[in-house]
Amino acid sequence: MIKITFFLLVFFLSTFLNAQEVITIDYCIDRAEKNYPIIKNELLIQNKAEKNLKVLNSGYLPALDFVGQATWQSDVTNIDIDVPFITEPITDVPKDQYKVALELSQVIWDGGAISGRKDLEKSNTKVEIAKIANDIYAYKEKIVDLYFNLLVLNKQNEIITIKRWQLREQIKELHSGVENGVVLQSQLDILLAEQIKIEQNLIDIEYEVLAVREMLEYLMGEEIPEFANILLPTPNIKANNSINRPEIDYFNALKMQAASSEALISKGRMPKLMAFAQLGYGRPGLNMLSDEFDTYAVVGAKFVWNIWDWNKTKRNREIIGINLQMIDNQKNQFEMFQQSQAQAQIKRIEKYDKLIMKDEEIVELRKGITSSYSSQLKNGVVRASDYIIALNEEQAAMLNLGMHEILLSKAKYSWLMAVGKQNENN
């Protein structure tokens, strides 16, 4: 009768689970990623980059400045000779001079400096976006840990619930035995005490499940249905251990940033040519011998070439070269660490595969032993404590099997995360 009831329980439980809403790890990761506040920074970074590029492009446009100047000088231009045919005296040029002017300037050739700054801005944007991708990936790893913690707790709850059901059925049988004088009351009390202990375990697990679920729901930004079926992942493992994590893109972006900085330094030494026009009013105007305020206009071009910078450019290039070596070293170290992590997960996968095979054999044996002790207990052949030991051993065997299945799945998923192929598993 107990076996029939047990199979009916399993049947109805499986039917109930099939009707439940299914929650997968990839769904949790996707929702958590969309709910992650820092992901909004990517649009802000792109918006900032667009504005910076517009600012840099304005460097190609003419610049109009209003300038003013007032000076006093210790000496001025003076003609100290006698000219017979000039009857009027030459006025001394004042030592205080004033001018205001509108100055229009236009870059004709800047040696590629503006273009270099634009390339550097694009590189900076890629670095910032890659940094966000790193933060998001670390955030995903936290979601994975929470998800598998929830699976472990659910498995513990499932197995202990089955044990409680088995114990209740056994208590019913012993009640009849006590009433008929076949079984002592003390044997029934042992089972009742064990039942209370199981209830304590279930309360403990219930609140742990609530804590983990609430953390996961908070990070996802939505509630997980109370009776949702938290699905055990079945990741696909491939032999390729090549690292494809966002940190690699971050290191590559840093190298591009350094290359853009080096190119900008080189362009800073290039000659520059610009045209200008100035319309002004001041004393003196262009006639330096006049003491009257006058208007003036100047049009011209200016050429600048820094032919010697005391090896500043050379040293800056050397600094960038050192930075590039440091980035390569960090990238190599990261890849080496991730390769070791991936290889460790491969070994764990092999271990759990073998343990599960043994677990299945142990569970079958333990079920047989518990069933035998159950019959003997009803007939008064064994004590209740002996039956509880057998039941606990069966529970431990089932729990080991369930835990190893979850740990196998987690090892596979951890391998995917280590090599950066989590998205390929979707």
Q: What structural domains and CATH numbers belong to the chain?
A: 2-35+111-269+310-425 (1.20.1600.10)
**Strand, coil or helix: what is 101?**
strand
DSSP sequence for 179-237:
HTTSS-HHHHHHHHHHHHHHHHHHHHHHHHHHHHHHHHHHHHTSPPPTT-EEPPP-PPP
d(CA 86, CA 165): 129
Q: What is the pLDDT of residues 271-319, one digit of tens each?
A: 999 999 999 999 888 887 778 889 999 999 999 998 888 888 899 999 9
pTM here?
A: 0.82
Question: Residue 381: what pLDDT?
Answer: 82
Mean predicted lDDT score pLDDT of the chain: 88
d(CA 354, CA 114): 63
Q: What is the pLDDT of residues 205-214, one digit of tens each?
A: 999 999 999 9
d(CA 91, CA 89): 6
Helix, strand, coil shares, percent, the chain, to 5 = 65, 10, 20
Q: What is the pLDDT of residues 349-385, one digit of tens each?
A: 999 999 999 999 999 999 999 999 888 887 778 888 8
Mean pLDDT for 116-132 is 95
**Strand, coil or helix: what is 100?**
strand
Q: For residue 22, what are the β-bridge partners?
A: 229
Mean pLDDT for 229-244 is 86
Mean pLDDT for 393-402 is 92
Does residue 102 have a pLDDT over 80?
yes
Question: Residue 79: what pLDDT?
Answer: 64
Pairing state between β 272-283 and 294-304:
antiparallel
Question: Residue 16: what pLDDT?
Answer: 47
CA distances to 173, 303, 320, 371 from 378, in Å = 7, 108, 83, 11
Does residue 1 have a pLDDT over 80?
no
Residue corresponding to tokens 């929702």: 31
With vertex at residue 28, the alpha carbon angle to CA 24 and CA 32, rounded to the nearest 5 degrees, is 170
Question: Residue 20: what pLDDT?
Answer: 65
Question: Residue 88: what pLDDT?
Answer: 55
d(CA 245, CA 250): 9
DSSP sequence for 229-286:
EEPPP-PPP-S------HHHHHHHHHHHHHHHHHHHHHHTTS-EEEEEEEEEEEES-S
Question: Residue 76: what pLDDT?
Answer: 77
Which residue type is seen at 124?
A: N
